[in-house]
Amino acid sequence: MQVSEIGTYVRIKYTVRLESGEILKGDPNEGLECMDFISGFDQVLPGLEKRLIGLNQGDEITLTIPPEEAFGFYDPSLVKEKNFSEFPEGKTLESGKWVLAKNDKHKITCGYFVKEKGLGSVILDYNHPFAGRTLTYCLNVVEVRPATQAELKIVKPCDFEPATKKKVWSTDLGIE
């Protein structure tokens, strides 16, 4: 069976690298990452899903995904200066750290990088950490089958960050 555009359960084992060769996930020496999803429900990067369509169980392939089909291009307008007064009391912000913002219901609403901390304000970068980067996946298609009715009932697409309409990235690559 081949991966179809919608309704196929897919399991892959993979390594993903940046252009520099830096391994983001799935170090071949420590064991490949495993991911499963249902095709057609925006559960994985658009460029990855598009390139998996038509592949069969057992296929091994290297895929290059450009920024526009992964985490988008780097957008300088998503770098913002915020006053400390805009954050909850007791919130600690450290330069060089990633932070996941949560709403009152503890649902992640967006992620940001603390670029610089000043006396009364902080510079935040709301771009995905891999925005503007090309990703290379070396993967093995482990399982391909029709999704069950039970799987289709519970499948949920990736959430979108409301301010930018970009996909929430906190779980995309395991960044915490």
Residue reference for tokens 């990855």: 48
Average pLDDT, stretch 169-175? 36
35 and 121 together in one domain:
no
pLDDT of residue 108: 62
Q: Is 105 part of a structural domain of the chain?
A: yes
Q: Is residue 81 part of a domain?
A: yes
What pLDDT does residue 31 have? 81
Residue 65: C-alpha distances to residues 59, 107, 116, 159 (Å): 18, 29, 30, 21
- Quote the domain boundaries for residue 66: 8-72+129-167
Residue 1 lies in a domain: no
Flag whether 174 is in a domain.
no
Q: How many angstroms separate the CA atoms of 107 and 32, rounded?
A: 29
Residues 19 and 65 in one domain: yes
Has residue 138 been placed in a domain? Answer: yes
Question: Quick check: helix, strand or coil at residue 53?
Answer: coil
Domain end position, chosen among 110, 125, 140? 125
Angle at 110 (CA atoms; ends 106, 112), nearest 5 degrees: 120
Q: Are residues 85 and 118 in the same domain?
A: yes
Query: What's the number of domains the chain is made of?
Result: 2
Whether 133 and 118 map to the same domain: the answer is: no
Q: Report pLDDT digits (tens) over 39-81.
A: 999 899 999 999 999 999 999 999 999 999 999 999 999 999 9
Which residue do the tokens 């296929």 mark? 59
Q: Is the pLDDT of residue 155 over 70?
A: yes
Please state the pTM of the whole predicted model. 0.77
Average pLDDT, the chain: 85
Q: Spell out a b/e string for 90-123, using b for 16 or more CB atoms within 10 Å of the CB, else e.
A: eeeeeeeeebebeeeeeeeebbbbbeeeeeeebb
CATH of the domain at 149: 3.10.50.40
Nearest CA to 77 out of 112, 120, 111, 127 is that of: 127
136 contacts 2 by C-beta, under 8 angstroms: no
CATH code (residue 95): 2.40.10.330
In which band, very low, low, confident or very high, does the pLDDT at 166 lie, cut at 50, 70 and 90?
very low
Percent of the residues in the chain that have a pLDDT greater than 90, as a whole number: 61
Q: Is the pLDDT of residue 93 over 90?
A: no
The tens digit of pLDDT for each residue in 139-153 reads 999 999 999 989 988
Question: What mean pLDDT is predicted for residues 113-126?
Answer: 92
